[in-house]
Structures are given as C-alpha cells and as structure tokens.
A and B are shown apart, each in its own frame.
Chain A
Amino acid sequence: MGILIRFLSQALPTLLGAVTILFLLLRMIPGDPAQAMLGADATAADLARLRQDLGLDQPLWVQYGVFLHNFVVGDWGNSIVTKTSALERVIEALPSTLMLCAAAIVIIIGISLPAGVISAVKRDSWIDYGVSLAVFLLMSMPQFWLGLLLLLVLSYWLDWFPIFGAGEAGDLLSQLHHLVLPALTLAAGFLGLVTRLTRSSMLEVLGRDYVRTARAKGLREPVVIVKHALRNALLSVVTVIGLTMGQLLGGAVIVEVVFARPGVGTMIWDAILQRDYPQVQAAVAVFAALFIFTNFLTDLLYGLLNPRIRV
C-alpha cells in the first residue's frame, strides 16, 4: 500500500510532466509542424489531413487534453514513414535494446565489483593505481569513439566480431556474438563510476569495528572481505547500478547507431533524421517511462536494503 502511494505521489507526477514536455516539444517546432514532417512537396490536402490527425487545428488546451487522453489509452499515433502504430513499433524494437542494456549491466557488475574490491583491499598498491588510471581514461573516453575503435580493431582488422546488426533471429549464439562489442562499449562509460564507488564504500566498511572483530575471530581474509565487508558495501553500489540502468538507455542510442544495431535507439535516430515526430515522441516517451520506473524501483530497493532510511 505504501508503495502504491509513493508511486502515485512521486513517479506518476514526474511521468505526467515528462509527457507534457513531449507535448510541448512537437509544438515548439518552428513554423508549421505538418510542413516540417511532410516536406516542401506535400500537397495541401495531405497537410490538412496530418494537421487534423495531430489535432494541430485545435486550440492548445484542447490539443493537450486530447494528447493526454490518447496517451493514457495507448493511442500514440502512427509513424509518418511506415503509417503503422508508433507505439507498436517501439515495443517491437524494445527487446533488442533491453538485451543490450542487460548485457552491459552484467559486464559492469562482472568487472567493476571485483576491480573495486581489489583496489580497496590492496589500497595504494600498483594494482590500485592501475585501476584508478584505467577508470579515469574510460570515464573520459566518448562511447562513440571507443565503439569505433573496437569496431576497427576487433571487427575489421582481426575479424573476431561481426560489423553490424543484431544477429540471426532465433540463433542465440549469433545474437550473443553480435552483442559483445556493443555491450562492452555501452558498459565502458559506466565502469568508472561503479568501480570508484565500490572502492570507496569498501574502504569505508573495511575500517569498521565488525570487520576488525571478524578478523580477530580468526576468520580467513577472503571470508572477511566477501561476507562481512562486501555485503555491507553493496548498499550504495546497488543504488548506483540502479540509477545507471536508466542512463544506459540514453547511452544505448549512440551505441546502437555506432554498431548499426536495430533497437529503440536507432529508431529514435532514424525518426529524427526523417522528421517522423510521432515516432520520436513514442520512443522518447517509452524511454522516459522506463527511466522513471527504474529510478523508482531503485528508490524502493534502497529502502528495503537500508532499513535506517525507511520512513
């Protein structure tokens, strides 16, 4: 029940605000949006029909009411290019993007947690400095450039990985093969943040009394580190990973374009270049909704893991 109230009071108003921004965006297009979408050679009849479809011939507040109503009932308009439901197209493209984000999360956890723990345990050793340097470089490297370099070296020169696409439908091995480089590229931008955070929260926990007690009891060091320290350090790490999940969606746009991988990211990009605004709107709305939802879940999870902040 408490969860429902928090959802209604926090996530829902934000979602409403996000939808309002999307509504305003289309109306911000300079000049006639219908003309902008259909191009200079559109006929007057086509323009009039599109204006009517989008409700642009109505007063602004009526447009807003209709927009909200249509949004709630799931009638998000049609793509101007394919003439099919914009929302359905986004839902079709979504699994590929979510798979990319999930793979990136696995890589982030698989690399950042051990790297952060080791550099905290071996503080000020050459491993610690090496990790810090690598983290700093990764944080400063634009994803699209890293992606292009990986593509050039590992795909073109060494021929280890495919160059574009998402692999054969139904062939899991081929799909995974196509997933490796995009997922690595997407993960790279976030490895730094999670590694740094794991290191600093491990350092904090390692100085606590219960860790000293565990050591004094004669427990072996790996047990102390994993069972006593890491478990407590994970709290803030989990939060950041949760918040990262939302940001991964944004990163996925650029990564999908670099690797010409089908998904919601490439869809937004294509739609923008083709001035297919209803499609842009639908895709951005889904991203915003997912983003708000994962942040909300992260909040909940943080409360569950840390009873002290539960109010």
Chain B
Amino acid sequence: MPALILKKPKAVAGASLVGLMLVLALLAPWIAPYDPLALDPVVSNQAPSAQFWLGTDFFGRDVLSRMIWGARPSLLIGFASVAVGCLIGSAIGLMAGYFRGWVDAVLMRPVDVLLSFPIVVLALALVAALGPSLFNLIITISLLFVPRFARVVRAEAMALRELDYIEAARVAGQTPGVIIVKHVLPNALAQIIVTCTVFMANAILVEAGLSFLGVGVTPPEPSWGNMLAEGRNNILGAPWLTTFPGVMLTLTLIGFNLLGDALRDILDPRLRGLHS
C-alpha cells in the first residue's frame, strides 16, 4: 500500500475522496447524527458547536446531517446520467466512427446541434420544459453528455478502424456488428472509462448548479447545490451554510478529477510518454 501511494499518489488521493463520498452517501441513514429534514425553530441559524458540529440552518436543521444526505442525489444523478450518456453516446460514436459516410453524417448532425448550446443554458431550458424531478434531472443531464461521449468515442473508433487487426477481421469476413463489439469497443474502452470519470465531475457540477438555481433537487430534500442557494440568503449571518456544502462539492470534484487524471496515465499508454 505505501508503495502504491508513492507510485500513484493521484490515483490513491482521488480514489480515497470518491470512496469517502460513496461511503457517506451509502451510510447516510446510519452516520448522520440528526434527521436531515427535522425542523427545530429553537435552534435556528446556530453556529457550529459541540451539539451541531457544522451548525444549523434557518429552519434549525442540522447542516452536517443535510450535507451527508446531500451526497446521495449528487452521486446518484452523476452515476445514472453518465451511465446513460455513456451507453447512448458510445453507441452513436462507435457506429459513426466505424461506418463513416452517410451513417456518420446522419448520426453526428444532431450531436453537433446539441453541442451548439452552452451546457448550463441547455440544461436550464430542458429542465424548465420537463419540470424538476429526480428522473427528469437524470434525463436532462444524460442528454448533455450523449453528444460529448459520441464525439470522444467517434474519434477513437475512427483511429481504430484503420488498424491492421480490424482490417484483418474485415477480410476474414466478420460482420460489422461483430467487429465493432469484439474488436473496436474493447480497444476504445480505456478512453471511455477515462471520459466517464472526468464527466462524472462535470455531471455532479451541473446537478449542483441546477439545484443552486432552484430547478434541480427540490427542497426540503437536501443537495449541496440547494443548500448553497439557501445559505446565500443569509451569507453574512450564517456563513457556515455557504461554506461546508461548497467544501464537500469541491472535494468530490477534486476526487473525480484526480481519478480521471490518474486513470488516463494508467490506461492510456500513448499519453503516458507525454507526461514523463
């Protein structure tokens, strides 16, 4: 273990942070000291103390408990939307990149159109139309990442299709479906995994941003984004409300970014040479 930390400090630090957040999210009901929704006007806006380690909010809810529970929507929405975005986007990218020609043109046009909106703006417009709910948030954020996955995977598939062993499979008479699934996909997998990790950070950031703007996770259900939005109303009187959820969010993003960097170094031998 110590050897691993010395050799891959980024990977260990990133995995620890992500692991910590996962543990918090999974064990929230058991480790949160209070009910995250329990109102208690008597202890409204209390500064951090021995009783409430990270203080309380306007409604007297325990900030630490809300922060622990807040890990759930962030990670759930992040994982689900990256998974959906990755599945659909990779399928589009593999086909467009392998077949080229009219398949490429037909598949990539909508992708380019979806990429022609600033990410936050498209997310806002979609959520505004669909209405905020956990399911709609996942749909919206997946839709943001489908075109981004498609672009990355298409580039990978385009490079792979020119390689000799793919050519050999083609000459041997294998069907395109078999070639894509058995030969192209496995070799594009490293790139896909790295992209997933980096996009996890982005997806969590988008969820937090939407919740901050009031169109994401709906209060009183806690999420780091809507906690920041609530804290903003009393930023001077209760600065702990804006500090702690932001720290959690940033640590999570640092975790996924570090993990992404580390995985790229490990999984992509072509890039390894560039850094050392």
Which residues of A are at the interface with B, using a C-beta cutoff of 8 A?
A: 13-15, 17-18, 20-22, 25-26, 28-30, 136-137, 139-142, 144-145, 148-149, 151-152, 156, 246-247, 249-251, 253-254, 257-258, 268-269, 272-273, 275, 277, 280, 284, 287-288, 291-292, 295
Chain B's closest residue to A249 (CB) is B118
- How far in angstroms is the closest Cβ of chain A from B93? 18
> Once the chains bind, are B209 and A254 in contact (CB under 8 Å)?
yes
Tell whether B128 is near chain A: CB-to-CB under 8 Å: yes
Instruction: For the complex, give the distance between the alpha carbons of A148 and B249 in Å.
Output: 14
Give the residues in chain A near B208, CB-CB below 8 Å.
142, 144
> Once the chains bind, are A148 and B232 in contact (CB under 8 Å)?
yes
- How far in angstroms is the closest Cβ of chain A from B256? 9
- Say what secondary structure dominates the interface of chain A: helix
Instruction: For the complex, give the distance between the alpha carbons of A145 and B249 in Å.
Output: 9
| Complex partner residue of B121 from A30, A137, A287, CB under 8 angstroms | A287
- How far in angstroms is the closest Cβ of chain A from B219? 14
Give the residues in chain B near A284, CB-CB below 8 Å.
117, 121-122, 124-125
Instruction: For the complex, give the distance between the alpha carbons of A309 and B116 in Å.
Output: 23
| Complex partner residue of B131 from A21, A30, A136, CB under 8 angstroms | A30
- How far in angstroms is the closest Cβ of chain B from A140? 4
| Complex partner residue of A14 from B113, B130, B215, B249, CB under 8 angstroms | B113
> Once the chains bind, are A142 and B118 in contact (CB under 8 Å)?
no
Sorted nearest first, the 4 A-B pairs with minimum C-beta distance are A250-B118, A17-B113, A145-B246, A250-B120
Instruction: For the complex, give the distance between the alpha carbons of A29 and B128 in Å.
Output: 8
- Chain B contact-residue range equals 35 or more
- How far in angstroms is the closest Cβ of chain B from A17? 3
| Complex partner residue of A17 from B116, B125, B246, CB under 8 angstroms | B116
Instruction: For the complex, give the distance between the alpha carbons of A257 and B116 in Å.
Output: 22
> Once the chains bind, are B130 and A28 in contact (CB under 8 Å)?
yes
- How far in angstroms is the closest Cβ of chain A from B27? 24
> Once the chains bind, are A280 and B125 in contact (CB under 8 Å)?
yes
Instruction: For the complex, give the distance between the alpha carbons of A292 and B113 in Å.
Output: 9
Chain A's closest residue to B232 (CB) is A148
| Complex partner residue of A251 from B120, B130, B131, B242, CB under 8 angstroms | B120
- How far in angstroms is the closest Cβ of chain B from A76? 15
Q: Total contacts A to B, CB within 8 angstroms?
A: 130
A-B contacts besides A17-B116, A29-B129, A284-B122, 19 pairs, CB < 8 Å: A18-B116, A18-B117, A21-B113, A22-B125, A25-B125, A28-B129, A144-B212, A145-B250, A148-B231, A148-B232, A249-B118, A250-B119, A250-B120, A254-B212, A254-B213, A269-B213, A272-B127, A284-B121, A284-B124
Instruction: For the complex, give the distance between the alpha carbons of A291 and B121 in Å.
Output: 11
Instruction: For the complex, give the distance between the alpha carbons of A68 and B201 in Å.
Output: 37
| Complex partner residue of A156 from B120, B130, B131, B236, CB under 8 angstroms | B236
- Say what secondary structure dominates the interface of chain B: helix
> Once the chains bind, are A142 and B205 in contact (CB under 8 Å)?
yes
Which of A21, A30, A142 has the largest count of B CB atoms less than 10 A from its CB? A142
Tell whether B239 is near chain A: CB-to-CB under 8 Å: yes
Tell whether B12 is near chain A: CB-to-CB under 8 Å: no
> Once the chains bind, are B212 and A291 in contact (CB under 8 Å)?
no
Chain A's closest residue to B205 (CB) is A142
Tell whether B169 is near chain A: CB-to-CB under 8 Å: no
Instruction: For the complex, give the distance between the alpha carbons of A216 and B110 in Å.
Output: 52
Chain B's closest residue to A203 (CB) is B274
> Once the chains bind, are B250 and A142 in contact (CB under 8 Å)?
yes
Instruction: For the complex, give the distance between the alpha carbons of A238 and B150 in Å.
Output: 25
- How far in angstroms is the closest Cβ of chain B from A14? 5
- A140/B250 contact (C-beta < 8 A), A145-B228, A254-B209 known: yes
Instruction: For the complex, give the distance between the alpha carbons of A280 and B127 in Å.
Output: 12
Give the residues in chain B near A28, CB-CB below 8 Å.
129-130
> Once the chains bind, are A21 and B253 in contact (CB under 8 Å)?
no
Would you list 6 pairs from A and B whose C-beta atoms are within 8 A, ordered by A residue? A20-B113, A29-B130, A140-B201, A145-B249, A152-B242, A284-B117
Chain B's closest residue to A29 (CB) is B129
Give the residues in chain B near A272, CB-CB below 8 Å.
124-125, 127-128, 215
Which of A15, A17, A136, A144 has the largest count of B CB atoms less than 10 A from its CB? A144
Q: List residues 115-160 of chain B with CB under 8 A from any CB of chain A.
A: 116-122, 124-131
Instruction: For the complex, give the distance between the alpha carbons of A277 and B215 in Å.
Output: 15
> Once the chains bind, are B121 and A148 in contact (CB under 8 Å)?
no
- How far in angstroms is the closest Cβ of chain A from B121? 5
Tell whether B109 is near chain A: CB-to-CB under 8 Å: yes
- How far in angstroms is the closest Cβ of chain B from A46? 21
For B221-259 the 0/1 string (1 means CB < 8 A from A) is 000000010011001100100110010011001100100
Give the residues in chain B near A20, CB-CB below 8 Å.
113
> Once the chains bind, are A250 and B242 in contact (CB under 8 Å)?
no
Instruction: For the complex, give the distance between the alpha carbons of A30 and B127 in Å.
Output: 12
- How far in angstroms is the closest Cβ of chain A from B151? 13
> Once the chains bind, are B130 and A151 in contact (CB under 8 Å)?
no
Instruction: For the complex, give the distance between the alpha carbons of A145 and B254 in Å.
Output: 14
Give the residues in chain A near B128, CB-CB below 8 Å.
25, 272, 275, 277, 280
Tell whether B22 is near chain A: CB-to-CB under 8 Å: no
Instruction: For the complex, give the distance between the alpha carbons of A17 and B147 in Å.
Output: 14
Chain B's closest residue to A284 (CB) is B125
